[in-house]
């Protein structure tokens, strides 16, 4: 029984560490942030303003129809996935997939 | 514009609904929205409303300033300027600032999906008798009114449905008022960001005072022009579909022309 408890605690810890690492992932270049709840251009301005407050963000483009924000990060700088998610939440929306993209995408 | 022409305009616009897919729309004109973002969150809103009744013509110019504490909690205040012009012989025109209304809204739920959101909030308000009620016609009510309401909306990039119900308790024992509003909004131009939008808003706005068998339901079509991230123009009329209990002071129509400007 004691061994099972130790295994469960270890598994939970691994999941927690994995989640924390994902949240602290640093991103650079161009970042595509899928945003749920983005249903009107007039309310997208708050999202743009909030993401612009992040240090290192040079440019933001918002595509309401395809529900994403495209962040361009300043050369030599990075942002964390956790910071992006926090700012999307503060703007009143829900973040989904966050990925680095190339100019071709 | 004659009613017949207006009806044809509405029919034409509604016909576009089924050919113009994939665009987003703006907030409704006569109904509250549960989306406390953008122009509905950190803006200043004012409009001129001309109210034509059988024995009085009223011009109201409220200024509303909402402020978001955070994305889920908003506070604000509304102060109306009112000008009343009685139709009866010998009665004088009166004008001035009316009663101050302060309100708070708190978002109860938010379900987001790609290109759509379903939200609901609770709204509490208090109207203070700051307007002068010692002259006739009075610009102030002379009583406190406490309001509680629920606002909900399902908004997608193609259309928006909104609903609002509120109960207003009047302090001096006067009859309480039940307000009920529904709205449908739809974009008439392709969407882009920064926005340039022309939106159709069709509302049904009702007020009922069951204690005195008074009830009115307006059909309220309107148009909205959004010319950028920070500026919106809107106009609309309210035509009574049914009204009872208003005696010889029935509503003819109301006309609204207004703007919302994002300041924060």
ipTM: 0.78
Eight-class DSSP state of B259: E
Nearest CA in chain B to A66: B115
- Chain B nearest CA to A64, separation (Å): 7
Closest Cα in chain A, distance from residue B11 (Å): 24
Q: In terms of CA atoms, which chain B residue is nearest residue A42?
A: B38
The sign one gets for the Cα dihedral A81, A83, A86, A87 is negative
Q: What is the mean pLDDT of chain A?
A: 87
Q: How far is A49 from chain B (nearest CA, A)?
A: 10
CA distance A3 to chain B (A): 41
Taking a C-beta distance cutoff of 8 angstroms, is the pair B126, B149 a contact? Answer: no
| Per-window interface: A 27-86 vs B, CB < 8 A | 34, 36-46, 48, 62-65, 67
In this predicted structure, what is the pLDDT of residue B38? 65
Residue predicted with more confidence, B13 or A64: A64
pLDDT at B41: 62
Q: Is A50 a residue whose pLDDT tops 60?
A: yes
Which carries the bigger pLDDT value, residue B238 or residue A46? B238
The number of angstroms, rounded, from the C-alpha of B74 to the middle of its chain's C-alpha atoms is 17
Contacts of B47 (CB under 8 A, 6+ apart): B61, B62, B234, B256, B257, B258, B259
- In this prediction, residue A19 carries a pLDDT of 60
**Which pLDDT band, with edges at 50, 70 and 90, does A57 fall under?**
very high
List chain B residues with pLDDT less than 70: 1-26, 38-42, 263-264
Reported pTM: 0.83
pLDDT at residue B26, rounded to an integer: 65
Angle among Cα A46, A48, A49 to the nearest 5 degrees reads: 65
Angle at A43 between CA A42 and CA A49, to 5 degrees: 110
Quick one: what percent of chain A has pLDDT higher than 70?
A: 87
A93 near B CB under 8 A: yes
**Average confidence (pLDDT) over A34-60:** 90
In angstroms, how far is CA A54 from the centroid of its own chain? 12
Outline where DSSP puts E strands in chain A. 26-27, 30-36, 57-63, 68-73, 79-80, 94-101
Test A64 with B230 for CB contact under 8 angstroms. no
Q: Which of B106, B119, B157, B234 to mutate to test the interface with A (most CBs of A within 10 A)?
A: B157
At residue B97, the pLDDT reads 96
Q: Angle at the Cα of B51 (from B45 to B56), degrees rounded to 5?
A: 140
A·B CB contacts under 8 A: 99
Inter-chain residue contact B115 with A67, CB threshold 8 Å: yes
How far CA A100 is from CA of B12, B93, B111, in Å, comes to 45, 65, 26
Q: Report whether pLDDT(A40) > 60.
A: yes
Is residue A38 scored above 60 in pLDDT?
Answer: yes
In this structure, are residues A81 and A48 in contact, taking their beta carbons and an 8 Å threshold?
Answer: no
């Amino acid at each position: 029984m004691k061994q099972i408890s130790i295994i469960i605690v270890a598994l939970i810890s691994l999941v927690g560490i994995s989640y924390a690492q994902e949240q602290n992932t640093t991103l650079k270049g161009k970042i595509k942030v899928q945003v749920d709840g983005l249903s009107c251009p007039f309310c997208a301005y708050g999202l743009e303003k909030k993401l612009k407050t992040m240090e290192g963000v040079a440019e933001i483009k918002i595509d309401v129809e395809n529900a994403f924000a495209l962040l361009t990060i300043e050369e030599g700088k990075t942002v964390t996935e956790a910071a992006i998610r926090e700012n999307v939440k503060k703007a009143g929306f829900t973040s989904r997939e966050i990925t680095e993209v190339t100019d071709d995408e | 514009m004659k009613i017949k022409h207006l009806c044809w305009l509405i029919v034409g616009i509604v016909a576009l609904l089924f050919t113009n897919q994939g665009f987003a729309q703006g907030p409704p004109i006569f109904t509250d929205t549960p989306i406390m973002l953008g122009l509905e969150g950190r803006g200043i809103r004012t409009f001129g409303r001309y109210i034509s009744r059988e024995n009085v013509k009223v011009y109201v110019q409220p200024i509303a300033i909402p402020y978001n504490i955070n994305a889920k909690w908003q506070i604000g205040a509304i102060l109306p300027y009112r000008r009343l012009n009685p139709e009866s012989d010998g009665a004088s025109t009166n004008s001035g600032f009316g009663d101050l209304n302060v309100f708070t809204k708190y978002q109860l739920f938010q379900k987001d999906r790609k290109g759509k959101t379903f939200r609901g909030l609770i709204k509490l308000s208090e109207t203070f008798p700051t307007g002068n009620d010692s002259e006739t016609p009075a610009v102030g009510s002379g009583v406190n009114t406490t309001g509680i309401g629920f606002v909900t909306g399902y908004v997608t990039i193609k259309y928006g449905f909104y609903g609002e119900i509120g109960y207003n308790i009047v302090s001096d024992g006067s009859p309480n008022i039940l307000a009920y509003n529904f709205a449908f909004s739809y974009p008439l131009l392709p969407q882009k960001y920064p926005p340039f939008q022309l939106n159709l808003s069709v509302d049904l706005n009702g007020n009922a005072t069951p204690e005195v068998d008074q009830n009115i339901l307006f059909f309220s079509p309107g148009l909205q022009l959004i010319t950028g991230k920070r500026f919106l123009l809107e106009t609309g009329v309210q035509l009574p579909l049914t009204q009872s209990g208003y005696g010889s002071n029935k509503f003819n129509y109301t006309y609204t022309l207004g703007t919302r400007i994002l300041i924060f």
